[in-house]
């Protein structure tokens, strides 16, 4: 059992990474217009993700 203990920090690190990425995407306003994002994917003219 003891030889698997290193898996715990690994899984926690991955979990934390997921949380951080989620918070980043929230801050980057990626959830502000979900309906629009679904439609924009169909158009060719690429533009910056954020209107800033």
Partner 1 sequence: MSCCAPSDFVPLAQGPDTRAQEITLGSRQLEPTLWQTDLSVPSIHCGGCIAKIETALGKVPGIVAPRVNLSTRRVTIKWHDAAAAQAAIDTVQTLGYPCHVFDDTQPQRDEAFHKLILALAVAAFSSMNIMMLSIGVWAGATGSTRDVFHAIAGLLCLPAFLYSGQVFYKSAFDALRHKTTNMDVPIAIGLILAFALSVYETMISSDQAYFDAVATLIFFLLAGRTLDHMMRARARSAVDGLARLAARGAMVVEPNGQTTYRPTAELAPGMEIMLAAGERVPVDGEVIDGISEIDSSLVNGESQPLTVATGSALRAGTLNLSSPIRLRATAAAKDSFLAEMTRMMEAAESGRGAYRTLADRVSRHYTPVVNIAAALALVLWLILGAGVHQSITIAISVLIITCPCALGLAVPMVQVVAARRLFTRRIMLRDGAALEQLATIDTVVFDKTGTLTLGQPQLKRADAVSTDLLAIAAALAGHSLHPYSQAVSAAARTRQIGLSQPEDVREHAGLGVEGRLDGHVWRLGRAGWASADGVGQVILARDGKAQAAFDFEDTERPGLHEAIDDLKRRGLNVELLSGDSAPVVAELAQRLGIETARGEVYPADKLARIRKLQAQGRKVLMVGDGLNDSPALAAADVSMAPANAADVGRNAAGLVFLSESLDAVPYAIETAHQSRRLVTQNFVLAIGYNAIALPVAFLGHITPLAAAIAMSSSSIIVVANALRLVRPSEKKTHHE
How far apart, in whole angstroms, are the C-alpha atoms of residue 48 and residue 18?
Answer: 24
Binding positions for partner 1, rule: CB under 8 A: 1-2, 8, 11-12, 15-16, 18-19, 22-23, 26, 31-36, 39-40, 42-43, 45, 51-52
Nearest approach, Cβ of residue 5 and partner 1 (Å): 8
Nearest approach, Cβ of residue 6 and partner 1 (Å): 13
Nearest approach, Cβ of residue 36 and partner 1 (Å): 4
Residue of 22, 25, 49, 21 whose CA lies nearest to 37 = 49
Q: Tally the residues of the chain.
A: 52
Which residue is listed with tokens 């898996």?
Answer: 7
């Amino acid at each position: 059992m003891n030889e698997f203990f290193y898996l715990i920090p690994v899984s926690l690190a991955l979990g934390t990474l997921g949380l951080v990425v989620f918070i980043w995407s929230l801050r980057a306003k990626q959830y502000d217009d979900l309906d629009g994002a679904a439609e924009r994917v169909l158009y060719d003219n690429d533009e910056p993700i954020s209107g800033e």
